[in-house]
Structure 1
Amino acid sequence: MQLNVYLSGEIHTDWRDQIIQACQMLDLNIVFSSAVTNHDESDSAGDLLKQANTDEGQGYWRDHRSAKINAMRTKTLIEACDIAVIRFGDKYKQWNAAFDAGYCAALNKPYITLHSEDIIHPLKEVDGAAHAWATDVRQVVETLRYLLK
């Protein structure tokens, strides 16, 4: 069996690399995908669609264009995945991760949330729809390993 796992959420730490490397070390048959994790690249994804001679440089319209370009990637990858892992970090609010969790729930895609205990309350609805909640990468890897037994 092979799993297609989508990694969503916080982009300021190397949690994705940790999961991927640990799964490779265990020789797990998993294909990983993710949103673009380079913040500047993600923010500028829609710049190629800017209309010449318009006042659409920064702000709302730039964010709007980039969000739509990024959404094409995210929607496609979530729809194609078997399971998503959605990481919520402590430093920033990851509204996009919450949106991804909601999209997974709407599609009936199983997902694992990954976050510390100190943000349980704000994520109660997200965790309520999740199939598992992990507090560290090791728990995610062990869950994926178990699923491939």
Structure 2
Amino acid sequence: MQFHVYLAGQIHDDWRETIKQLAGQEQLPVTFTGPMENHDRSDNIGEEILGTQSDPIAKDEAASEINNLRTRLLLDKSDIVIAKFGEKYKQWNSAMDAATAVAQNKPLILIRPKELHHPLKELSERAQVTVETDEQAVKCLKYLFETD
């Protein structure tokens, strides 16, 4: 059995690499995808594909359409979603991806610090598991493959 895991959440640190490394150390049969982590590519993809837009709002909208297509397809193909919320940045994309996972009935592991319990309480209630660390999320994945 192999699972496809979508790593939703902020792109301002290397938490995805940490999850991948920990899963690799455990030799978990999982593959990972997630949002475009190259900020410039994500911001400019609309113009790369559709050409120069008339203003910054049109540029953002063109990029959003293409990024949303990518995200939806990858979320649809995932077996489980891990969404991480941190304290430092506003987490609009994390919230959108996590809410989409919930709406699609995708199993969700939510990673958030204890300090964000209150603002994320409703989302946490809909997740299958809420943890505070990357290590705890990987331990949840590992448990899925245990047979005894």
- So what's the TM-score if we normalise by structure 2? 0.93
RMSD: 1.1
Q: How big is each residue's C-alpha offset from its partner over 1:34-79, in whole Å with a ceiling of 9 and x where there is no partner? A: 110111111111112135xx6x242x11111111100111000101
Counterpart of 1:135, as a letter, is E
Amino acid at match of 1:26: E
| Structure 1 gaps, min length 5 | none
Q: Pick from 117, 137, 141: which aligns with 1:144?
A: 141
Q: What are the Cα deviations for residues 124-148 of structure 1, in whole angstroms up to 9, with x where unaligned?
A: 1211111111111110110000012
One-letter identity of the residue aligned with 1:13: D
1:96-149 CA-to-partner distances (Å, cap 9, x unmatched) read 111111111111001111110111111112111111111111101100000122
Contact 1:50–1:57 under 8 Å retained in 2? no
For residue 88 of structure 1, what is the amino acid of its counterpart? F
Report runs of 4+ in structure 1 exceeding 2 Å deviation: none
Aligned to 2:19: 19
Structure 2 residue aligned with 1:46:
46
Within a 5 Å distance, the mapping from 1:97-116 to structure 2 comes to 97-116=94-113
Tell me the residue number matched to 2:128: 131
The residue identity in structure 2 corresponding to 1:11 is I
Confirm or deny that 1:10 pairs with 2:10.
Answer: yes
Look up the equivalent residue of 2:2 and give its one-letter code.
Q
Distance 2:118 2:93 in 1: 18
